[in-house]
Amino acid sequence: MLEHQLKCEHRDRLYSQVATTCVRHVAQQTKGVTMSWGIISSISPAELAAAAFTQPLFSLVLASLIFAGTLLVRRLRSRRGRSIPRTPAVRPSTAMRYVLERRALGVGAIAMIVVFAIENVVRGYLLNLVDVVEWWQYATPVFAAFLCLAFVLGLIVLRGTIQPEQPVAPTARRTWTSFSPRAGLIGAGAALVALLATTIAAGMASSADDRGRYIYLELPVPNVPMDALRPWFYGWAYGVPVIVCLAGLIAVTWATLRRNAARPFLRPETVGSEQSARVEIASGAVHIATAGMLLALGGAFRFIGRYGSISNVTAEVDGRRESYEMTWRYAEFAAAAGWLAPVLEITAFVLLLVVASRLFRVRTLRQPNGRIERSPEPETVR
């Protein structure tokens, strides 16, 4: 009988092992055990950098550096007297009406980052998950975004029933897109389509094991008398929970944007400041939903890139080892997905950090020129 052994030459596997070795080295040092630096010193800086990129938490580190660098540049520009876009002032009555929603969005963004980091560490280093379908790894970011926006929606529903102090006659019908950023909606739509298409396509390409779990990708070896290789893959066992959570996230995001836009204004002179507050809430909701989808998509891309680009198999026959070349017809896409995954994760973390930073934003009653905010013209009231 042929005994074949899977040999994956994809660089992600090597880089992941290198990064894991570095983490174990730190852990061993805490126990007083000194590991030789010979292995680590033999690795080039480029390989160490690539190994770092295989770790999702490294994407968080890079996102934090990018965000901090952006804030530093803005501060330096403001000190040099260059014009920096300013956020419109918000009246005290308006601020009190929307403060809970803004805080909930900021705290929710921070909670998503913390949950992602804890899940990654616990699953990767503390649990033994041999032959376990880790479906929650990909569904957790989407579900966390769902819970965050569901809480914000609850606040809007409970506080949106406040009767206006002075009725404001609307001049246009407000919909769920009235205060939503166009670029943000386009980005969220692109992330939604990409995640849904990737999940469905990978599920259709997957195959079931003997327990009916769709976790394998069948890779036949041409011109070789052996069974098809079956590495683990992002199949339906992983994708179905993601689709379920994604459906909930779409519904709660739409409801949040709709309720945020539909509630009445307090009085005519607060319309301008209330519009600014609602734009910020809608932007935060879209950012959180997009970040949840991007984190799930980044994890799926890592999985597909790691096991979908296998290029070599070694077979042992009568004590003799022979290597055979093999390719999956979508191997190029799998390799590209593996390289694109860190970019998606960094983008998601930057979006979450932007929302979280609004917790510390100081708003003033007066405009920068010292004048009280005037009420908008009637035609600007939406």
Is residue 4, in this structure, part of any structural domain at all?
A: no
Degrees, nearest 5: CA angle 106-90-172? 95
Is residue 189, in this structure, part of any structural domain at all?
A: yes
Q: Kindly give the parts of the chain with pLDDT less than 50.
A: 1-36, 84, 362-382
Cα–Cα dist 366/87, whole Å: 11
Is residue 49, in this structure, part of any structural domain at all?
A: no
- 218-238 pLDDT per residue, tens: 877 776 667 777 888 999 999
Strand-pair partners of 3: 316
- In the block, residue with structure tokens 């609602």: 278
Per-residue pLDDT, 129? 83
Cα–Cα dist 113/314, whole Å: 41
323: three-class secondary structure by DSSP: strand
Using an 8 Å Cβ cutoff, are 289 and 256 in contact? no
Is residue 179, in this structure, part of any structural domain at all?
A: yes
- 251-305 pLDDT per residue, tens: 999 999 999 888 877 777 777 788 888 899 999 999 999 999 999 999 999 999 8
Cα–Cα dist 284/99, whole Å: 13
- pTM here? 0.79
Residue 70 CB: number of other CB atoms within 10 A? 13
Is residue 257, in this structure, part of any structural domain at all?
A: yes
Is residue 34, in this structure, part of any structural domain at all?
A: no
Is residue 73, in this structure, part of any structural domain at all?
A: yes
CA neighbor of 353 nearest in space, from 76, 120, 106? 106
Q: At what angle do helices 136-159 and 271-307 cross, to 10 degrees?
A: 170
Segments forming the whole domain that contains residue 94: 60-380
Domain count, the chain: 1
Per-residue pLDDT, 237? 95
Cα–Cα dist 238/129, whole Å: 15
CA neighbor of 331 nearest in space, from 354, 309, 300? 309
Residue 66 CB: number of other CB atoms within 10 A? 15
Is residue 52, in this structure, part of any structural domain at all?
A: no
